Each structure stands twice: as C-alpha cells, then as structure tokens.
Chains A and B, each alone.
Chain A
Amino acid sequence: MAKAKIDLNRVAMPKQEAGARRQNFSEVATGYTAEDAKREASRCIECKARNCVAGCPVAIDIPEFISAVKTGDFTAADEIIKRTNALPGICGRVCPQESQCEAVCTLAKKKAPVAIGRLERFVADWEPGYRLKGSTGAKAPKSCKKVAVIGSGPSGLTCAAELARLGHSVTIFESLHVAGGVLMYGIPEFRLPKTIVQTEINFVRSLGVEIVLNAVAGKTFTIDELFKDGFQAVFLGTGAGLPLFLNIENENAPGVYSANEFLSRVNLMKAYHFPEFDTPLKVGKEVAVVGGGNVAMDAARSAVRLGARVTVVYRRGREEMPARLEEVENAEEEGINFLFLTNPISFQVNDQKWVSGMTCQKMSLGDPDASGRRRPVPVGGSEFTLPCDMAIVALGTRPNPLIARSAPGLAFASAGTVIADESTGLTRKAGVWAGGDIVTGSATVISAMGAGKAAARDIDRYLASL
C-alpha cells in the first residue's frame, strides 16, 4: 500500500464565541458537522497497534467506529461504540481524551492525534431518535437473576447496562429525583446538556434496566434488605458527594457555598431560571472560587454566566491545576481571573453576617509531596484581602456516611471510601461490589464507567456460579 501523506491538521471544534457564551448556558462547543466528522475521521491511519483502544478505559473499538464515520455510515459507527459504551454523548464531551485515547494515538507523536472525543460526540449526537429504536446488539437470553445497582451516576449506569445486556434483570436505586449523578447535578449545561444525559439514560432503560428514584440506600432500605427481597448481587456506585471545607474562620457565613450546593442549585434545580423554577440562588457581583479542578472551573464559569466577576484562587501554579486544559482555556477566554499560588486563610463578613471578603496568603512551591506535585509553602507576611460578596469552595469531596452506617460487613479506608478489589470491584461483603468515586474518591466519568463495567463482568461470573 502506498504511503498516504498524513494530514496533521485536526478539524477545529466549532465553538460559541466567548463574548456570546458568557451570556447563556447553551453548550460552548457546538459540535462537528457531518462534513467535519468525515474529514477528521479520514485522518485516522487505522494502525495495527490500536494504541488508542488500549488508552480507552472501556476499550471502545476506536479504529472501527472511525472507519465507519469515514464512509459516512454513522449508524454503524453508533452501533460499534454502543457495544462497549452506553454513554458516548457524555464521554465524548467530558472525558479527558488528551490524557487517554488521544494521548497514545499514533499521531500524537506528531502532535496531531485524531480528535477521537469529538468524533465520539458527533456519532452520539447523530440522529438521537434512532438510538431508542435502534438495535443494541444481540441480547443474551434472560437469566432470571436479579441485581440491584445503587446510585445512577456513570458507574451505576454502566454496570447496569452491561448486566442487562448479559441477560440479568437490573434495578437501579437513586436517592435524587432524577438519574445521572454528577452528570445531572454537577457538570453544567454548557458543558454537558441535560437532554443528552437523559437520552443516554433512556438508552440504558431501553436495555431493560428499571430505575427507582427517591430511594436512599441506608435510609429507605438497607443492603441486607435487598438480599432479602431477592436480589442476588449489589453494586454500589454512590459516588463521593460530601463536600470538603477549608475549616477556616467564617466559612459557614451565608454567601460561602460549597461548589456542590452552588452547582446543584444551578444545574439540578435550574436556579438560573428562578423564579420560573422555585429554587433561588444568590449570585454575587464579585465571586471568589477556591480550587483548581474541573469542579472549580464549572463553578467559576457558571457564576460568570450569572453575571458575576470571578476570581479563581488556587494554591499551586497553572501547570499543577487538575482541571482539563480545554476548560481552563475556556475559562480564561470567558474573562475569569486567576490568582495562583494563593491560599485562603479566613473569610470576612459584613454587618448582615454575609461574606464580604476572603483573606489570602501567597504561597511558593517547595519540594514534591506524596502526590509527586510540588508542595505549596506559605510566604510570610504576604496576607491580603480579596473583597467578595460570594465565595465558592471547591476542594474535593468524599463519600457520604449513609452507606457506611447501614451496611455491616463493608470495609472502609480512612478517607471514607469503600475498600474493593481493584480489578473486579468486589468488596469485603459477600455479594456486594463497588466502583467509581465511592472507591477512588473524586475521579473521572470514564474511570467510574470502567469500574462499573469490570464489576458487571465479575458479577456475571458470580451469578453463573450460583
């Protein structure tokens, strides 16, 4: 075969212009057209090594689906992806492809990896109506085995979809009034439209998965009761929702939000439509956001859209920020101000006791710590006060204590996470598997999905042995 010249120019993602998108909650990246997708797909050299597949935590048949896109057979592409990933519209939007499939793509060496994520998103968005009626691959015969999945975030949904495809009857129990977990309450509409999430959840339902809302494990029912009710295995995918705080003076003053509260008001309860929607939200004129991860970026960018001037305060440097690079760049374009090497030490309040400022300290980077990142060290005498009428604390989360208090036999690590086998998700309690953020602490959508899938396979083996 004659060697074709490789095109090193990735097809750009069309985006709303920064000035416009600051005014709305519509999606920032508007998505490839069919022509864009075919052009980008044609850059893939379909290499034998399939590095990209190895880089994908759920091992999507990447070259195969891209090849279908090349020929314009988007329906086939969708089926290929769906064999391994029930939530491609979500993954195509929020996965850190730059450090997974695209990082190891053969063309990455030439700094031009195929835009796998954008193609995945394009395929997922292709004719959404098709998805529900479309074939879902050969279904296994019914096994008459019952599995309970607790939590409807990406780990629970993936585990449920996989088990349903293997012929088991699966019920998801979710504590909130909608399914989706962080995809619904955390990640904002402008990055992940909620209709996309619900369409993909409906796909999971179409596989035969039942979803019971308003059901809290550890409160409405216990895990042992599920076994009594005839469930033969339980998968725990309840995530890590409990927000961490700085534990500094005046942190509980009104106006100081946890990122989860702020984002749930905005995303889950649609507070940006207040008063048409009943849940209110106070948005300051000067908002300080503490943290450097995806959650901090989402909070900061939501606040901008609600009319605030926003400063992100992060105790290390820009390079050390754990947020996806694309989202940091988007945030910068949207006019968010960053104060690096800065750490809050107290909040100030006004005479209504409402937050009025955040006193910070400058930091410098010392020797690397256990995480391998250089440790921030306070600079003496560098205190200053950042005036603000609202502050959002986005420091990370840990699992809530409900499961721990209600499931004797489970073992927990010191951070409150469930101890489970890394490759199978099996916990120390018989018949119970766990995966996603409840095991790892805050991580990623795709790692939660990978864990859900691995657990499903192990649960299937276990059910076969019964």
Chain B
Amino acid sequence: MYSIISTEELVPRVRVYRISAPRIAKKAAAGQFVILRVDDNGERIPLTIADWDVVEGSVSVVFMEVGTTTTKLSRLKAGDTISDIVGPLGNATEIDNFGTVCLMAGGFATATIMPIARAMKAAGNRVITIVGARNKDLLFWRERLSAVSDELIITTDDGSAGRKGVVTEPIKEMLERGERIDRVIAIGPSIMMKFSALTTKPFGIKTIVSMNPIMIDGTGMCGCCRVSVAGQTRFACVDGPEFDAHAIDWDNFMARQRSYIEEEKRSLEICRCPSG
C-alpha cells in the first residue's frame, strides 16, 4: 500500500497527487513514468512523473480525469492509499546542451514538461516553452514554467489567454522567420504531437515526442505498448516512451489507442454510478 501525501486540483478534472514512494523518488529522472493500480480490481495505468522529492520520499503525478481509473483516483484524499505504484519506468529524456530547445505541451502535459524544462535549463539551453489549452481556465503552473523558461508562450483555442490558436502556430512562425531551434520536444494528446511533428518536419529539426500507448506491465512483457517507428516495432515502455516524432506511424498509433473505447465507456458508466 502506498499513501497519498497530498492532493490538489489544478484546474477542473486535472489533479496533482504526491504519493509516498521513496524507492522511486530516489531514481526518478525527467521523462520517466510510473504505473499505478488504485485498488485490487484496478487496471494498471501509466502516468508521467511530474516531480519528485528524494528527502520526503515522494513522487508527484498530474492526471486528467478521463476514465475509470483516473475517476477512482480523483475520489481519493490525502491519507488514503493506492494498492501499487512501480517505477521509475521508461528511459529518461536525453538532456544535453543542444542550444535552443523548444518544449511544446498540450493539456495535462504542462506538468510533464516541467522536469524536462528544468533539466534543459540546468544543462545551459535557451528554453522556449509553448503551452496550449482550450481556454484560460485550463492553464496551470504558469509561474513554475516561466521560472525555468527563457520564453513562455501561451496559446488558447478561444484566445482567452495568450494568443488565439494552437501550439504549432508560434513555432511555425519562428521557424519560418529563420529562428534557430536545435531540438523540439512535444508532449500532449496524440493529435497535437502528430501535428507538431508535421510542423517541424519540413525544417528538418529533430523532434522528440513522448508516446502514451495503452500499457500493462511497463517492463517489456506484454507487447501492448508497441509503436511503429521507422517501420520497426518498438516497445514504448522499454525503448521509449520518447521517440523521433518524424519516424512514427501516427495513424496506426491512434488506431491502437482507440482499441478499447467502447469498453472504457461501459466501465466508466458503472464507475460513476453512485451505488457502484
């Protein structure tokens, strides 16, 4: 059993939880994830490590309430426990002094980009962070991000904060006007990562995405997390989760992610039902 130290709602349906997990905290690095199981009947779901504290022995995860497991998780309070948490899994983000690094985040990924921004900054990069959301009420951690970014650009679909539009527009303009960017890391919904890849491709800029396929074990046992990269089958849990965005078969990836849509709906209805 692993206890939840604190919970906080960042914006509606997005929460950050600090969970006691000393062994994981000791090893965590930017870009890695954990797999947790809320209770004994629970599914194993992966969540990126958004922060960690070796002294306290905790890791933080930021999650969006989308289905059964994240709904169950969101009902828990500080002091409650979850059955299992394992990690840190996956490879750490490649951190180096690349020059100028552009980090792009969509939705809850604002949190997952944080440790990467911090590490990139510490490695001496000029860090440009672009965060996209549907509207201003869904934005969080703006101060935290700007503290580790040389430039923070906000985009919202409705223009209620920052500039109106999607995350790919600012980077497209920068590239078109010849600004030098040495590396791009895009994390968010698949569709946003796919379009980020399409935007940087003509400019030949190395672009890394963090893939979020459905997973079970996270140790290379089930083969569920496979991703086609440059025509080869790779396992996101042990070979990733980060891959070269330009080499991914996005259509196949998105079709795989949709594998259980109907079951997820059914399961969520039962989960939301008060008697259940």
A280: B residues at CB distance < 8 A: 260, 263-264, 267
B258: A residues at CB distance < 8 A: 254
Within the assembled complex, what's the spacing in Å between the Cα atoms of A213 and B88?
14
Please pick, from B23, B85, B221, B249, the residue contacting A221 in the complex, using a CB distance under 8 A.
B23
The reply to whether B223 and A261 form a contact with Cβ atoms under 8 Å apart is yes
A195 beta carbon closer than 8 Å to chain B: no
The reply to whether A175 and B86 form a contact with Cβ atoms under 8 Å apart is yes
Stretch of B35-43, B118-126, B139-147 lying at the A interface: B35-43
The reply to whether B88 and A219 form a contact with Cβ atoms under 8 Å apart is yes
The reply to whether B83 and A260 form a contact with Cβ atoms under 8 Å apart is no
Closest 4 CB pairs of A and B: A280-B263, A258-B223, A241-B221, A400-B220
Within the assembled complex, what's the spacing in Å between the Cα atoms of A275 and B266?
8
The reply to whether A274 and B221 form a contact with Cβ atoms under 8 Å apart is no
Stretch of A81-89, A244-252, A337-345 lying at the B interface: A244-252
B contact residues vs A (CB 8 Å cutoff): 23-24, 27, 37, 41-44, 68-69, 83-89, 216-217, 219-224, 226-228, 233, 235, 238, 249, 251-252, 255-256, 258-260, 263-264, 266-267, 270
Within the assembled complex, what's the spacing in Å between the Cα atoms of A270 and B40?
11
Question: Nearest Cβ distance between residue A286 and chain B, in whole angstroms?
Answer: 18
The reply to whether B69 and A352 form a contact with Cβ atoms under 8 Å apart is no
A282-299: contact bitstring with B at CB < 8 Å (1 yes, 0 no)?
Answer: 100000000000000000
Known: A220-B87, A278-B68. A252 touches B256 (CB 8 A): yes
| Interface residues in A, total, Cβ within 8 A | 46
> Smallest CB-CB separation from B86: which chain A residue?
A214
Within the assembled complex, what's the spacing in Å between the Cα atoms of A261 and B215?
9
A401: B residues at CB distance < 8 A: 220, 238
The reply to whether A214 and B85 form a contact with Cβ atoms under 8 Å apart is yes
The reply to whether B222 and A278 form a contact with Cβ atoms under 8 Å apart is no
Please pick, from B217, B227, B255, the residue contacting A176 in the complex, using a CB distance under 8 A.
B217
Interface residues of A in 392-410 (CB under 8 A from B): 400-402
Listed A/B pairs (30) with beta-carbon separation below 8 Å: A175-B219, A177-B84, A185-B221, A216-B87, A220-B27, A220-B87, A242-B221, A252-B252, A254-B256, A260-B222, A261-B224, A264-B216, A264-B217, A264-B221, A264-B222, A269-B216, A275-B267, A275-B270, A276-B41, A278-B43, A279-B43, A279-B44, A280-B263, A280-B264, A280-B267, A282-B259, A282-B263, A353-B255, A400-B220, A400-B238
Known: A177-B83, A242-B221. A220 touches B88 (CB 8 A): yes
B41: A residues at CB distance < 8 A: 270, 273, 276-278
> Smallest CB-CB separation from A397: which chain B residue?
B221
A185: B residues at CB distance < 8 A: 217, 221
The reply to whether B221 and A278 form a contact with Cβ atoms under 8 Å apart is no
A387 beta carbon closer than 8 Å to chain B: no
A265 beta carbon closer than 8 Å to chain B: yes
B88: A residues at CB distance < 8 A: 219-220
The reply to whether B216 and A265 form a contact with Cβ atoms under 8 Å apart is yes
Within the assembled complex, what's the spacing in Å between the Cα atoms of A451 and B146?
56
> Smallest CB-CB separation from A268: which chain B residue?
B216
Within the assembled complex, what's the spacing in Å between the Cα atoms of A121 and B212?
44
B256: A residues at CB distance < 8 A: 252-254
The reply to whether B86 and A278 form a contact with Cβ atoms under 8 Å apart is no
The reply to whether A352 and B266 form a contact with Cβ atoms under 8 Å apart is no
The reply to whether B89 and A219 form a contact with Cβ atoms under 8 Å apart is yes
Question: Nearest Cβ distance between residue B185 and chain A, in whole angstroms?
Answer: 22
Within the assembled complex, what's the spacing in Å between the Cα atoms of A220 and B90?
11
Within the assembled complex, what's the spacing in Å between the Cα atoms of A267 and B69?
19
A270: B residues at CB distance < 8 A: 41
A215 beta carbon closer than 8 Å to chain B: yes
Question: Nearest Cβ distance between residue B104 and chain A, in whole angstroms?
Answer: 26
Known: A264-B222, A282-B263. A216 touches B89 (CB 8 A): yes
Within the assembled complex, what's the spacing in Å between the Cα atoms of A273 and B43?
12
